[in-house]
Amino acid sequence: MTPSPYPVVRLKPKAQARTIRHGAPWVYDNELVTDRRTKNLQPGTIALLEDAERKPLAVVAVNSNSRIMARVLDRDVQAAIDGNWLRDRLARALALRERLFEAPFYRLVHAEADGLPGVVIDRFGDVAVIQPNAAWAEGLLDELCAAVVEVTGVKTVLKNATGRARALEGLDEENAVLHGRAPDGPVPVPMNGATYMADLTGGQKTGLFYDQRPNHAFAARLAQGARVLDVFSHVGGFSLVCLAQGAQSAVAVDGSQAALDLAAEGATQTGVAERFETRRGDAFEVLTEMGKAGEKFDVVICDPPAFAPNKKALEAGLRAYERVARLAAPLVAEGGFLGLCSCSHAADLSKFRGASVRGIGRGGRTSQLIHTGFAGADHPLHPQLAESGYLKSLFFRLV
C-alpha cells in the first residue's frame, strides 16, 4: 500500500474501531489519542485515522477544538481529498436530486449523508448557497466553490456563515460572495404549486427551508376549502401552498416582519394575495389571544424553531412543544386538523409525539394521529447519524 501523504491520528485502545468500519461518520475527542502532535494540527487538517493497532481505517478531517474531533471523509485510506474528490461527491449528490426534481430548487448536499461532512448546499436555480459548517470545508472552500460551479453550472455561489455549528467549530460568521454576483433581491422559488420568496443574503439559514416540502404537500391536501392558520410561518411555508391548492383563506403568524413581507410577496407571486393575511407577534402570545377570542380554523399548523437544539435543552424544549400544542388545539374547528412540527434532533420522534399528545389533551381535545412526516428525499438520512433525521411533522385530526 502506498504510504499516506497525510498525518496520522489514532484511536485509543478502548475506542470502537468497528463502528468506523461499519460507517459511523464521527470520532469524538475522548476516542482519539490527543498527544501534543495531534493537538497542534491545524483545524481542518486532513489526516489518516488508524485503530489502536495502527491499522488504517479512514481518511478524516481533524479539528482538535471541536467535540467532534474527526469527521470521516472517505473509508478508502488511499483517497486524495482534492478537487476531483469534491467533484465526484457533488456529481453523486446532483444525480439524486435531478432524479427527484424537475426544477433546480433543492438541497444539493446534506452534509454527512451526502459524504461531505458538515457541508450544506442549497440550490436556487442559478445560485448555490454553501454553509461550510466544518473546518475542513472552510479550508477547502475555494476548491469546493469551483467544484460546485463545474458540476452544476450555477452562475453564483454564496457563503452563508450563520448558525450554531460554525461556532462549535471555531469558525467565523462572515457571509461572502464566492463566485458571480449576489442576487439584487429575493429569489422566487417554485414549490408545490406556490411561489416562495427567498432572501439568500439576509434571510434565515440559506434563505428557504426545503426540508418541509413533502409535509407542505400533505397539509395542502387537508386544506382545500379550509381556513388555515400557519404559525411560525417564516416566508409562508404552509400557508402559501395551502392557498395554492385551494384553501379558502390563510393567516401567517411570525415574529419577523421581514419574513412576513416575503410571505406577502410570495402570495402575490402565487396569485393568492386576496385570501392571505399576516400577523406579526410572539407566537405564544398570538395563540393565547386567538384562543381567548374564540377564533377557529379548519387547519392549524405550527412549525417552530428548534426548541431542543441539544440534550441540555431537551426538557425545556419538550415543555415548549407541549405548550404549542395546548394553545393551538382549541383553535381547531371540530373535525379539523392540527399539524405540529419539530426540527430538534435532541427531541426524537417518540418524545416529540408524547409532548404533542399531552399538549392536545391539556388543550381539551381528543385526537387521531393520521400522518407522520419527515424531511424530503433531498435531505437524506445517514443511517448511523440520528442528527441527520432531525425533522418530524405530526398531523392530527381533532374531534
Closest alpha carbon to 241 in 253, 228, 232 = 228
- Active-site hit among 145, 302, 341, 343: 343
**Grid coordinates representing 305?**
424553531
Sign of CA dihedral 246, 251, 255, 259: positive
The secondary structure element, H or E, covering residue 218 is helix 213-222
List phi, psi (to 5°) of 24. Answer: -60, 135
- Catalytic (active site) residue 343: yes
Rounded CA-CA distance 244/37 in Å is 59
Cβ atoms within 10 Å of 385's Cβ, excluding its own: 17
Rounded CA-CA distance 36/9 in Å is 11
Interior/surface letters 308-338, b for 16+ CB within 10 angstroms, e for the rest = bbeeebbeebbebbbbbbbbbbbbbeeebbb
Residue type, 63: N
List, by residue number, the catalytic residues.
Answer: 343
